[in-house]
Amino acid sequence: MICLGIESTAHTFGISIVDDKGKKVLSNVINAYKTTKGGLIPAEVADHHVEVLGEVLSQSFDKAGIKPEQVGLIAFSQGPGIGHCLRIGAGTARSLALLLKKPLIGVNHCIAHLEIGRFLTKAKDPVLLYASGANTQVIAYEAGKYRVFGETLDLGVGNFLDSFARELELGFPGGPKIEEYAMQGKKYIKLPYSVKGMDISLGGLQTNLSQKIKSGHYSKEDLCYSVQETVFAMLVEVAERAMAHTGKTELLLGGGVACNKRLQEMCRLMCEERGAESFVLENQFFIDNAAMIAIAGLEMFKAGMSTNVEEAGIRPYERTDQVDVKWR
Ligand code: AMP
Ligand code: MG
């Protein structure tokens, strides 16, 4: 079956076409809203999505080389996310489902980050370390649900890195710039390390870093290096504890921060030390993308799930463990 997936939880509007026969991602087109200064204003991001959706849709069909009639299922990200943005994706999905007379399925965005890993790698039952802009969670399947074993108590790690980079005047998005500077870092600067049980907290570290930047005593390179070592160690610690608790032997990375090679290396080392395996994806499948929505939608539909057009609203605050997992 061929599924068309739509992603629009935040800055990224994407449409992907996936054929579950042979597990082929036929197209995965995204157009992400960018700013040169400041953050996201929901209404402006929604305007961006409306502007680009026609182009993204036709590009996705062109790249996939299929006709709309060949699509058997429409999947869309239903939540969690920014209401203004979610509404554009949901509206597009409902229109397409009615127009093409095809079934519709609403997908949880966080769970989709995990399902794409199960689809594209050999991982069967991984713990997901999901580190993106707004979200930072450790998620795994346990007793019939996807459960959050640990998460950030304040900032998402990507947003934290972006605001740290802004203070260092490295531009946006900050993560890739920090990674570059970190490679030139020579000295580890001691920073607050804040793991609370299964959760992490980044607010105190953020304040501490502001003070260090203002003092002018430290090089950008050493600060970036030290931030990566500290924050990634916190992530790896909670991910490892979730693996120990659940007895799972696979770790999957997800979210834009997972593009970071040092984080990938630290996860690989942790897994090697405990006889587990760590799985990484291509960057296009780490960042927000619609292929993961199509893939999760296919899994759900095959298990008999679907969403009526009349009930296909958005769920901006949906929690991972609220989803009824019928497909596993
Ligand atoms: P997402 O919200 O999943 O699309 O991820 C976006 C976040 O990923 C932004 O905060 C970026 O700064 C961050 N990011 C992207 N590439 C990297 C990288 N190489 N290292 C660290 N963070 C990154
Ligand atoms: Mg995401």
Cα 133 to ligand 2 centre (Å): 8
Give the nearest ligand 1 atom to 132 CA: 3
119 assigned to some structural domain:
no
Write the DSSP string, 76-134.
EEEESS-HHHHHHHHHHHHHHHHHHT--EEEEEHHHHHHHHHHHHSS-SSPEEEEE-SS
Q: Which ligand neighbours the alpha carbon of 112 most closely?
A: 2
**Is residue 253 in contact with ligand 1, taking CB distance under 6 Å?**
no
Q: Which ligand neighbours the alpha carbon of 81 most closely?
A: 2
134 and 251 both lie in a single domain:
yes
Integer Cα distance of 145 and 201 in angstroms: 25
129 and 275 both lie in a single domain:
yes
Torsions phi, psi for 156 (to 5 deg): -70, 145
82 assigned to some structural domain:
yes
248 and 295 both lie in a single domain:
no
Output the CA–CA distances (angstroms, integers) from residue 146 to 115, 128, 312, 328, in the order listed: 11, 10, 21, 10
Pocket test for ligand 1, best of 161, 177, 202, 283 (most atoms within 8 A of CB): 161
Contact in structure between 158 and 134 (CB atoms under 8 Å)? yes
178 assigned to some structural domain:
yes
274 and 293 both lie in a single domain:
no
CATH number at residue 93: 3.30.420.40
Helix (H) or strand (E) holding 278: strand 277-279
82 and 211 both lie in a single domain:
no
Helix (H) or strand (E) holding 66: none
How would you classify the pairing of strands 127-131 and 104-108?
unpaired
Integer Cα distance of 71 and 293 in angstroms: 15
pTM reported for the whole predicted model: 0.95
Cα 81 to ligand 2 centre (Å): 9
Integer Cα distance of 122 and 146 in angstroms: 19
**Is residue 176 in contact with ligand 1, taking CB distance under 6 Å?**
yes
- Parent domain of 49: 2-114+288-322
Contact in structure between 10 and 53 (CB atoms under 8 Å)? no
Residue 40 confidence (pLDDT):
81
Pick from 224, 255, 259, 15: nearest CA to 134:
255
Residues 6 or more apart from 181 whose CB is under 8 A from it? 170, 220, 221, 223, 224, 225
138 and 211 both lie in a single domain:
yes
Pocket test for ligand 1, best of 33, 257, 260 (most atoms within 8 A of CB): 257
**Is residue 156 in contact with ligand 1, taking CB distance under 6 Å?**
no
71 assigned to some structural domain:
yes
**Is residue 135 in contact with ligand 1, taking CB distance under 6 Å?**
no
CB-count exposure of residue 166 (10 Å: 0-12, 13-18, 19+): middle
32 and 49 both lie in a single domain:
yes
210 and 71 both lie in a single domain:
no
102 and 56 both lie in a single domain:
yes
Number of structural domains (the chain) is 2
Pick from 54, 39, 150: nearest CA to 95:
54
206 and 307 both lie in a single domain:
no
Angle at 164 between CA 157 and CA 34, to 5 degrees: 75
263 assigned to some structural domain:
yes
Residues 6 or more apart from 133 whose CB is under 8 A from it? 10, 11, 156, 158, 159, 162, 255, 256
Residue 38 confidence (pLDDT):
67
- Lookup result for tokens 């009639």: 69
328 assigned to some structural domain:
no
206 and 64 both lie in a single domain:
no
Q: List, as ranges, residues with CB under 5 A of the ion ligand 2.
A: 132, 288
Integer Cα distance of 69 and 309 in angstroms: 19
Angle at 260 between CA 6 and CA 241, to 5 degrees: 90
76 and 26 both lie in a single domain:
yes
59 assigned to some structural domain:
yes
Residues of the chain with pLDDT below 50 are none
- Considering only the C-alpha atoms of the chain, give the largest distance between any 2 of them, rounded to a whole number of Å: 64
107 assigned to some structural domain:
yes
Cα 213 to ligand 2 centre (Å): 29
Reading the block at residue 47, the tokens are: 């305007």
**Is residue 31 in contact with ligand 1, taking CB distance under 6 Å?**
no
